[in-house]
Chains A and B, each alone.
Chain A
Amino acid sequence: MTPIYEPWDVARGGEIIAQHSHLEGATLVILHALQETFGYVPEPAIPMLASALNLSRAEVHGVFTFYHDFRRAPAGKHVLKLCRAEACQAAGGDALAARAEAKLGIAIGNTTADDLTTLEPIYCLGLCATAPSAMLDGRVVGRLDAARIDALVAEAQR
């Protein structure tokens, strides 16, 4: 299922921050919550978060940029993550990744020009005994072969 995100709204952002700011070490929890709501972490949320947690903007920016998961801009409508780690490599994952790149006309780490599909690497979904594996909009898929990767790519272009 395609995730549905809300457009950025200062009041809503403040509400999310307030909801979690009592937690011990709340920064990551709030960044996750913001991204779950808006699909990315909007720039104006960073100083709001900093002031709520009594941190500097630089500190929050540093945390935000350290982790691969957090986005500074919305992703495509669909996010297709292909596992690029060793177990999937051993099971032929490299060739399937190249196939997906060719079908979409983009390299891994990019979004198609029509903003429909973001293709990303992921380092291990823990599905190493049913490799190669992938995740499309949060749904896990294993035992990929050429036909299954084609079907996933087609689904990610809809």
Chain B
Amino acid sequence: MTMRIFVPRDAGAVAVGADEVALGLRLAAAKRGAEIEIVRTGSRGLYWLEPMIEVATPNGRVAFGPVTEFDAGSVLDAMISDSAHPLRLGITDDIDWLKRQTRLTFARCGVIDPRSVEDYTAHDGYKGLARALELGTEAILAEVTASGLRGRGGAGFPTGIKWKTVAQTGADRKYIVCNADEGDSGTFADRMIMEGDPLVVIEGMTIAGIAVGATKGFIYIRSEYPHAVAAMNAAISAARRAGYLGPRIGKSSHRFDLEVRVGAGAYVCGEETSLLESLEGRRGIVRAKPPLPAHKGLFGKPTVINNVLSFAAIPFILAGGAKAYAGFGTGRSRGTMPVQLAGNVRHGGLFEVAFGITLGELVDDIGGGTLSGRPVRAVQVGGPLGAYFPRALFDTPFDYEAFAARDGLIGHGGIVVFDDSVDLSKQARFAMEFCAIESCGKCTPCRIGSTRGVETIDKIRAGERVAENIAVVEDLCNTMKFGSLCALGGFTPYPVLSALKHFREDFGPAPTRLQAAE
């Protein structure tokens, strides 16, 4: 009997040798005369165990990891004889790290062949679309609103309201745009889902098209993600062949099609209006709002623009019902959040969980502390524009309002862990420097403020009139926060001010900082 072996083709797994492992398995199987079929899947998200490979058994899939090409032979032997192996992790579904999650959006990621519509539908795919086609426009909008889903890109705007606005705006043409310009360091959920389950994004966008009356969609993917671009394009072709994209979606009268567009290395294009400019073929300069993209978006037409994870949450909401989704979470943060643990962390990866879990649980318990083994000193939550939190704030529950109340943000759900060797004045300087590199230049607080910020933090680090210069930085941050057009200039103060507030001992001449570290 042919043995089915699952090897991820996720970029994170490929970066640590998954392709070599797949090749090693083929060679080892040929040598042994064993018949195997290798299915290239997405990643399960347990990155410290990547490359993690699995074999189908009558009791479910059994996982091994982290496997190197040199282990391929011995792992294959253990698979054939169903025997012990140092890298054997047991039944995949019983792995504690996976069992503790609530995988709604990522249910299929790492399980199915991402390029196979057949595999997708065999694992509950396109059930959301089927129900959406039964419900019709009004009822879809009602479901999405009732689910409490908020934009997963970072801003947290209610998705249902956004869609309703587009649905109610009359126009000869409307667009659905997927923001896959996931530029925040420490976040990789968009990349993972596009590589591991791209059809769920396509299904979500298709439902959005039916709900608001749009027939064309664009997925804007950053150029740093070539694997995701390839996976999305392959899935779009597969969906077209199966009749899930094109003139008659799922044999209905609805028309919808998609096109992938690739960014060109501008972080600011993750900002929605700048992304629309870029899609139109222009410089990624932020637009002033209003008009909202929902009224005048892409090419001046009403446009739904949502993050990858927002679209990816939609099929579950339609298939399982708004109540099932809203049943998870806390307060005004409903459903689940795919949290990404990154940086200097022992158990790095993607952990999808209902809102409400504390930051401390995520970092210490699930993340297992630092990889270096040194104490955790700071975590940055929400990407380059997110605040640095000290251990003292580890009781903060993971939800939009709780983080905002402590001058932070959950953003796109990335958590970067730093050990006690981190210098927070250096990190604050980097935040300003990054803003200066990536500023689109349209508004003065962002364009000039970031450069002045770098200069002033340099003075502080050199020990030059420290107290006065800290006051200058704080003043600059206020100007940027309240005077910038978009989140790049407006949120850069979060990492800077949080570093100043919680790690003041790092701001001063170098000797003081070095003493403080000891």
Q: State the A residues within 8 Å of B (CB).
A: 24-29, 31-32, 53, 59, 62-63, 66-70, 83, 85-92, 122-131, 133, 138, 140-143
State whether B47 touches A87 (Cβ < 8 A).
no
State whether B15 touches A140 (Cβ < 8 A).
yes
Residues from chain A with a CB closer than 8 A to the CB of B342 are 87, 90, 128-129, 131
CB of B265 closer than 8 Å to a CB of A: yes
A24 to chain B, nearest CB (A): 7
Alpha-carbon distance A25/B218, docked complex (angstroms): 12
State whether A66 touches B284 (Cβ < 8 A).
yes
Number of interchain pairs (Cβ within 8 Å): 155
Residues from chain B with a CB closer than 8 A to the CB of A143 are 15-16
State whether B265 touches A87 (Cβ < 8 A).
no
B454 to chain A, nearest CB (A): 15
CB of B280 closer than 8 Å to a CB of A: yes
Of B182-190, B322-330, B354-362, the one contacting chain A is B182-190
State whether B12 touches A91 (Cβ < 8 A).
no
State whether A86 touches B430 (Cβ < 8 A).
yes
Q: State the B residues within 8 Å of A (CB).
A: 11-12, 14-16, 47-48, 50, 182-188, 190-191, 223-227, 261-267, 278-285, 299, 340-345, 348-350, 371, 380, 384, 414, 416-419, 422, 427, 430, 434, 438, 440
Closest to B267 in A: A123
Most buried by A among B187, B279, B281: B281
| A25-B281, A63-B283, A66-B283 as given contacts; A86 in contact with B266, CB under 8 Å | no
Pick from B11, B15, B185, B440: contact of A87, CB below 8 A: B185
State whether A25 touches B280 (Cβ < 8 A).
yes
State whether B15 touches A127 (Cβ < 8 A).
yes
Closest to B284 in A: A66
State whether B266 touches A124 (Cβ < 8 A).
no
Alpha-carbon distance A112/B416, docked complex (angstroms): 33
Alpha-carbon distance A66/B268, docked complex (angstroms): 11
Residues from chain A with a CB closer than 8 A to the CB of B187 are 126, 128
A84 to chain B, nearest CB (A): 9
| A90-B417, A140-B14, A142-B16 as given contacts; A67 in contact with B266, CB under 8 Å | yes
A82 to chain B, nearest CB (A): 12
Closest to A134 in B: B15
| A27-B282, A31-B264, A62-B283 as given contacts; A129 in contact with B47, CB under 8 Å | yes
| A129-B342, A131-B342 as given contacts; A90 in contact with B16, CB under 8 Å | no
Alpha-carbon distance A126/B187, docked complex (angstroms): 6
Task: Using A123-B434, A125-B15 as known contacts, list a sample of 19 further A-B pairs with CB atoms less than 8 Å apart, ordered by residue number in A.
Answer: A63-B281, A66-B266, A67-B265, A67-B266, A68-B264, A69-B265, A85-B186, A86-B416, A87-B416, A122-B224, A124-B185, A125-B225, A128-B187, A128-B342, A129-B47, A129-B348, A129-B349, A130-B15, A141-B15
B271 to chain A, nearest CB (A): 14
Pick from B16, B281, B343, B440: contact of A26, CB below 8 A: B281
Alpha-carbon distance A66/B283, docked complex (angstroms): 6
Task: List 10 A-B residue pairs with CB atoms under 8 Å apart, sorted by A's residue number.
Answer: A27-B281, A28-B261, A67-B266, A90-B344, A126-B225, A129-B342, A129-B345, A129-B348, A140-B227, A143-B15
